[in-house]
Structure formats: C-alpha cells, structure tokens
C-alpha cells in the first residue's frame, strides 16, 4: 500500500479483547471448549432451556463488567480520531471495550451483552444485571420473553446493509483477532477484495482465512495493532 485509502473498514473478533481478560471462543481454553454452543447460543437452545441460557449470559455479563480496553482498542480509537478518511469498526464482540476506548463509528454486528431484547414486542433496553425467565418485559408485560440482545447461531447479524455498503466502498480492510470461521463476517475479506480494497489480517496466528488476505501480521493484538495504526497515520501524513 503506497497511498492512504480514503475509507477503512476494520473487523474485530474475540482476540482483540483477549488481553483485557475476555475469553475467546475457539482457542484451546476458549468458551466453546467448555460449553456446547447449541445449548446456549441458538434460538432452539433458548426455547429448550431458557434458564440455562440466562445463566450463561449472566456469567458472561458479570465477567466483562470489570474489564478495561487494552492498547489495541485504544489504537483503533486513536486511528479514528487522527485519520483523514472514514474509519468504521465492525465488531463481532458483545463486550463494550471499543466504546469504552472511545471508538464512535462502531457496529456491534453480534449485539451487546449489556442490552436485552423482548422476543414478543421487539423492545430493546440497556441491562446491567442478571436476567431470568421470571422478569416481565417493561414494554408489553410478557414474562419469559426477554433475552440477551446478542445474535445467536442461525440468526441474521445486525446492520448487514450498512456493513455491505461500507465494504463496497473501502480501500483498506483490516481483520483483527478473529478465527475467520463464522459467516457472514468470515466473508467480509472477499467482499472487500471484490471492491478493490487492500486486505490485512492482524491475528495471534494465521486464521482459517489467512490465504484470502494480501498481507498478514501475526502477534499479540496489543503489540501489532498499535504499530499498524502508527504506520497508517504516518502514511496519511505523507
């Protein structure tokens, strides 16, 4: 890449939050090594045993309550503030670490832990406490219809129209801390390439989709992301 692209789309996954103390999913000690995703992260699992699903997300909501953004989240916020073009962060993560670091142009494509959704009336609201089947929706009064506002397997991720539009107009696509196994996010690199973008993977190790990227840098997010951001800001300064 010799010139600074006018628009950048950045996809992030669990690996960017790992050094803040948030578990990833598919590493050997990751969440899906301990819990069956079909039981806690599918609409069918919720219909079968909502109390089990609430217990899982209550535990995760509590776990992310104390965590803080790390140098990688902070670098992306710095990029947004200092870059002369558009910078959009699309995260698969349901934690609030990008927002806490100061990123503003942000899409939570898999929803957010600290928000709930009513399956009956579609009401959404912020939620910091434990959730249970006994709690009634404040909007429609239905009991048992409240769920975490996170996207489960088999459901359509949020804001796909806005994401597709951004990918089709970007000159640089960066994927950070994701294993590249979950679609549609795993297909964003191909969409960006079709749009003519330069594509870069920043991950601890080669992801499943590494061969789709023009460039790959491997290491810990807190080391490689700030360096990459510095090089982009340098390029933009000319």
Q: Give me the least distance between CB of 210 and ligand OAD, in Å please.
A: 10
Binding residues for ligand OAD (CB under 6 A): 13-15, 18-19, 24-27, 30, 41, 92, 110, 151-153, 177-179, 181-182, 203-205, 207, 220-221
Of 172, 227, 164, 201, the closest CA to residue 15 belongs to 201
Q: Give me the least distance between CB of 136 and ligand OAD, in Å please.
A: 26
Is the backbone of residue 159 left (phi > 0), alpha (psi -120 to 50) or beta? left
Among residues 54, 73, 108, 110, the one annotated as catalytic is 110
CA distance 62 to 194: 41
Q: Give me the least distance between CB of 157 and ligand OAD, in Å please.
A: 8
CA distance 155 to 223: 34
Q: In terms of CB distance, is 30 or 43 closer to ligand OAD? A: 30
Q: Is 110 a catalytic residue?
A: yes
Compute the chain's Rg from CA coordinates. Answer: 18
Q: In terms of CB distance, is 61 or 110 closer to ligand OAD? A: 110
Q: Where are the beta strands (DSSP E) in the chain?
A: 7-12, 86-91, 106-108, 111-118, 124-126, 146-150, 172-176, 198-203, 215-218
Q: In terms of CB distance, is 171 or 226 closer to ligand OAD? A: 226
Q: Give me the least distance between CB of 129 and ligand OAD, in Å please.
A: 21
Q: In terms of CB distance, is 199 or 207 closer to ligand OAD? A: 207
| Residue 43: C-alpha distances to residues 33, 53, 184, 212, 229 (Å) | 20, 10, 18, 31, 38
Whose tokens are 């600290």? That residue is 114
Q: Give me the least distance between CB of 238 and ligand OAD, in Å please.
A: 30
Whose tokens are 């109390």? That residue is 51
The first and second tokens of residue 213, run together, are 């990227």
- Describe the crossing of helices 71-82 and 221-237 by its angle, rounded to 10 degrees: 10
Which residues are catalytic, by number? 110
């Amino acid at each position: 890449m010799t010139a600074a692209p006018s628009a950048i789309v950045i996809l992030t996954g669990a690996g960017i939050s790992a050094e803040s103390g948030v578990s990833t999913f598919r590493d050997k000690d990751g969440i899906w090594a301990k819990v069956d995703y079909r039981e806690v992260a599918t609409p069918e699992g919720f219909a079968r045993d909502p109390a089990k699903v609430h217990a899982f997300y209550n535990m995760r909501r509590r776990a992310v309550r104390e965590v803080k953004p790390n140098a990688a989240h902070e670098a992306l916020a710095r990029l947004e503030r200092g870059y002369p073009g558009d910078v959009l962060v699309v995260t698969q993560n349901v934690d609030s670490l990008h927002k806490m670091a100061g990123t503003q142009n942000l899409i939570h494509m898999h929803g957010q832990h600290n928000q709930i959704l009513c399956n009956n009336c579609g009401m959404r609201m912020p939620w910091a406490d434990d959730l249970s089947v006994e709690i009634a929706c404040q909007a429609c009064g239905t009991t048992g219809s409240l769920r975490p506002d996170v996207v489960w397997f088999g459901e359509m991720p949020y804001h796909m129209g806005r994401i597709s539009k951004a990918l089709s107009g970007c000159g640089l696509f960066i994927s950070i801390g994701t294993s590249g196994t979950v679609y549609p996010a795993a297909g964003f690199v191909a969409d960006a390439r079709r749009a003519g973008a330069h594509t870069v993977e920043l991950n601890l190790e080669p992801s499943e989709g590494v061969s789709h990227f023009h460039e790959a840098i491997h290491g810990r997010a807190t080391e490689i992301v700030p360096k990459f951001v510095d090089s982009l800001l340098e390029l933009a300064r000319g």
